[in-house]
Structure formats: structure tokens, C-alpha cells
């Protein structure tokens, strides 16, 4: 049984909310999507995501704090990669799910076109 199952249910739910909130940020999601394809330097992530260098670095710090990415120093360069392959697997499962429910998600009246809640 997982450690999460032994925790207070509210605390476990709060951690799940934080995890998915982290994934819901477009900048962090674009960084994680780029890292799905392999390890990258900050400069490569800037090119891949279109984010600024400072924005990319700030989001990488958040992802590092949450242990979703890992970094490796090579000479004067730092390379980032997914810390756990299950992040890529989770995204693959999400894509499979979206294949079946994309129309409903796209047309959901409770979220605006940017994915943020309305009303």
C-alpha cells in the first residue's frame, strides 16, 4: 500500500491538488512536455517553449522543488530532465483520455478558452 494511502485523506487530497495545479500552469506544462522528449539546457527549453529565460528558470525552480524534474551539471551547462518517467506516462494516459473526451472538455461551459474557470 502506498504512503499516500496511509495519510490523512484531506492531506493526501491537498497534495494531489498541488500536483495537478502544477501541471495546469501552461508554462510548466510546456517545459514538462519538452522534457518528455529528452533532457535540455535552459537555453534549449527557452527555444522549445517560447518562454523567456527568467520565466523558464523560475518554473524550473518550482518543478525542482516539487521533484518533478532533475538537473545535472555538465561543465558549465546544466541539463534538466524528468525526475520520474511516470510524469511522461501520466501525460500519455491524459492524451489517451482526451482522445475519448476531447469534445466534452473543449466545450465545457465551466471553463473559458484559456482553461481558467468562468463565473
- pTM of the model as a whole: 0.83
Q: And the C-alpha cell for 26?
A: 501552461
User: How many CB atoms are located within 10 Å of the residue 68 CB?
Assistant: 20
Contact status, residue 113 vs residue 67, Cβ threshold 8 Å: no
Contact status, residue 52 vs residue 46, Cβ threshold 8 Å: yes
Predicted local distance difference test score (pLDDT) of residue 77: 93
Average pLDDT across each block of 10 residues of the chain; the chain has 119 residues. List them in order.
73 92 93 97 98 97 96 96 97 93 83 62
What sign does the dihedral 94-38-113-13 (CA atoms) show?
A: positive
Predicted local distance difference test score (pLDDT) of residue 106: 83
Contact status, residue 105 vs residue 98, Cβ threshold 8 Å: yes
Domains, the chain, ranges and CATH? 9-105 (1.10.10.10)
Contact status, residue 82 vs residue 69, Cβ threshold 8 Å: yes
Predicted local distance difference test score (pLDDT) of residue 115: 60
Predicted local distance difference test score (pLDDT) of residue 16: 92
Contact status, residue 53 vs residue 43, Cβ threshold 8 Å: yes
Amino acid at each position: 500500500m502506498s504512503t499516500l494511502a496511509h495519510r490523512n485523506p484531506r492531506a493526501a487530497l491537498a497534495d494531489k491538488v498541488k500536483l495537478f495545479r502544477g501541471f495546469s500552469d501552461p508554462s510548466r506544462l510546456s517545459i514538462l512536455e519538452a522534457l518528455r522528449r529528452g533532457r535540455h539546457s535552459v537555453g534549449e527549453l527557452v527555444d522549445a517553449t517560447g518562454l523567456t529565460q527568467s520565466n523558464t528558470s523560475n518554473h524550473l525552480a518550482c518543478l525542482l522543488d516539487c521533484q518533478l524534474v532533475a538537473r545535472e551539471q555538465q561543465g558549465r551547462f546544466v541539463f534538466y530532465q524528468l525526475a520520474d518517467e511516470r510524469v511522461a506516462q501520466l501525460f500519455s494516459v491524459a492524451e489517451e483520455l482526451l482522445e475519448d473526451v476531447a469534445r466534452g472538455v473543449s466545450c465545457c461551459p465551466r471553463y473559458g478558452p484559456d482553461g481558467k474557470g468562468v463565473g
